[in-house]
Amino acid sequence: MKTLLKAVQILDVSSPFHKQIRDVLLEGNKILKIDKDLSKKETYEIYEANDLVLSPAFFDPNVHFGEPGFEERETITNGLKVAAESGFSEIALVASTQPVIDQAYLIENLQQKTRNSKVKIHLVSALTQGLKGEDLAELFEMHNYGAIGFSDDDSPIQNANLMKLALQYTQSFNGLVHSFPAEKNILGKAQVHESPTSTLLGLKAAPSLAETLQISRDLAILKYTGGRLHIPLISTKEAVKLINNAKEDGLNVSCSVSINQLFFTDERLNEFDTNFKLFPPLREKVDQEALISGVLDGTIDFVTSHHRPINIEHKFLEFEHATSGSIGLESYFGAMNTLFGTEKSLEIIQRSRDVYNLNKPVIKEGNEIAMNLINPKLEWCFTKNEITSKSKNSIFLNENLLGKVIQNFY
């Protein structure tokens, strides 16, 4: 069956039709024809409405589901359904499962389980065995089985020599080492960011120094060793400055930020809503502004949904005892579009593939389909009715958002 998209604006910087309004005819998994006015036929499935946008599908390299080991949070089957409905044709799962994805055969098992999914799964597998930060995992073997990076998730690598060895060893196969930006001794048992808000609320807090000290150490090691370093989920104005300086010095470093940090500040903690308990924690307005500027000028390479399902019994607790994390796939585009507008949002979203050396889908005749049909002007409220995820722990609950993926083709 053929599908006809009438008068859609194509927003794809890699496409010869970028910013143009065109009809797009699809057949099977291919883009059959792109032209100004394609004839309708009764046998076509037709999408026609004012102001629709066609974009390449999304990729998020920082996604948690739960399975294997934590299926009560999210299963792979349902998680992939959520990803598809939210506009993601590719995701990368983080290795903090049970068992930890620290061996090549575990990657193969997940690939076999998801081989028929229309959403492609990549793995950011464990950097150290069991995420314990003591010994390097089977990095080369996992790379050969398709791991696109190595990370201990939100467990910082405390051993500086281990980080040095990781950066040296992975250069032989151009591997990407992740290092979560938190100095654990300074972080301690902090619940939130150290600020006037934390003082007012009486919560245990840690300063931005916990983040920037770790980043400074890792950048110093990178300067010594060479290699490729990714710093995920930065959250402070000082981090933006450090990474900008490192890039200007020629270091091969990339970084990301969570959409949560761009949309909210720690002022939202006043009601002790555990959906706002995150790691890294929400920061102050000055940090938020610096992060947004860093995204716009390219210092921050991409924005992630930081999708982290947490089952209700770990969220429905006093703030101090609740687990950090928020789901994010379903609210991601609406939040991005609200902050940056449609054209800029889509340009930012596509940058994540560059960091992981993945091919970008391009809207062009003859190419395989990996596209989203978007209503960029749709105003909507993100309620529990919008959540397909098994866990419902969303920081965006009851937020008004602008723009939504209404159909995907992949």
Mean pLDDT within 140-149: 97
- For the segment 363-372, what is each residue's pLDDT rounded down to a tens digit? 999 999 999 9
Please say if the pLDDT value at position 67 is more than 90. Answer: yes
Mean pLDDT within 14-26: 98
Mean pLDDT within 12-40: 96
Query: Taking each helix axis from N to C terminus, what angle separates 209-225 and 237-248, rounded to the nearest 10 degrees?
Result: 10
Total residue length of the chain: 410
Closest CA to 255 of 263, 238, 246, 243: 243
pLDDT band at 191 (very low <50, low <70, confident <90, very high): very high
Residue 290's SS3 state is helix
Lowest mean pLDDT among 108-122, 137-151, 211-225, 241-255: 108-122
List the Cα angle 133/65/403 in 5-degree steps: 120
Q: What is residue 279's predicted lDDT score, i.e. its pLDDT? A: 97
Question: What pTM did the predictor assign?
Answer: 0.96
- Give me the residues paired with residue 90 across strands: 59, 120
**What is the DSSP code string of 84-137?**
HHTTEEEEEEES-SSS-S-SHHHHHHHHHHTTT-SSEEEEEE-SBGGG-SSSB-
Measured from the Cβ of residue 46, the count of other Cβ atoms closer than 10 Å reads 13
Q: Based on DSSP, count helices (H) and strands (E) in the chain, helices before strands.
A: 13, 17
Residue 101's SS3 state is coil
pLDDT band at 46 (very low <50, low <70, confident <90, very high): very high
Q: What is residue 267's predicted lDDT score, i.e. its pLDDT? A: 96
Mean pLDDT within 112-130: 95
- For the segment 235-289, what is each residue's pLDDT rounded down to a tens digit? 999 999 999 999 999 999 999 999 999 999 999 999 999 999 999 999 999 999 9
Mean pLDDT within 325-341: 98
Structure tokens at 191: 């619940």
Closest CA to 78 of 388, 292, 409: 388
Q: Write the CA distances from 253 to 49, 142, 145, integer angstroms.
A: 43, 22, 24
Average pLDDT across the chain, whole number: 97
Please say if the pLDDT value at position 38 is more than 90. Answer: yes
Structure tokens at 171: 């250069």
Closest CA to 256 of 288, 233, 279: 233
What's domain 2-54+364-380+400-409's superfamily in CATH? Answer: Urease, subunit C, domain 1 (2.30.40.10)
Is the distance from CB of 55 to CB of 5 less than 8 angstroms? Answer: no
Mean pLDDT within 181-194: 96
**Domain ranges for the chain:** 2-54+364-380+400-409, 58-355
Structure tokens at 361: 């889908």
pLDDT band at 1 (very low <50, low <70, confident <90, very high): confident
pLDDT band at 324 (very low <50, low <70, confident <90, very high): very high
Mean pLDDT within 162-166: 98
DSSP character for 327?
B
Look at strands 53-56 and 2-10 and give their pairing. Answer: parallel
Structure tokens at 308: 């982290």
- For the segment 167-182, what is each residue's pLDDT rounded down to a tens digit? 999 999 999 999 999 9
CA 337 – CA 344 distance, rounded (Å):
8
DSSP character for 18?
T
Structure tokens at 358: 């993945």
Assign domain 58-355 to its CATH architecture. Answer: Alpha-Beta Barrel (3.20)
Question: What percent of the chain has pLDDT above 70?
Answer: 100
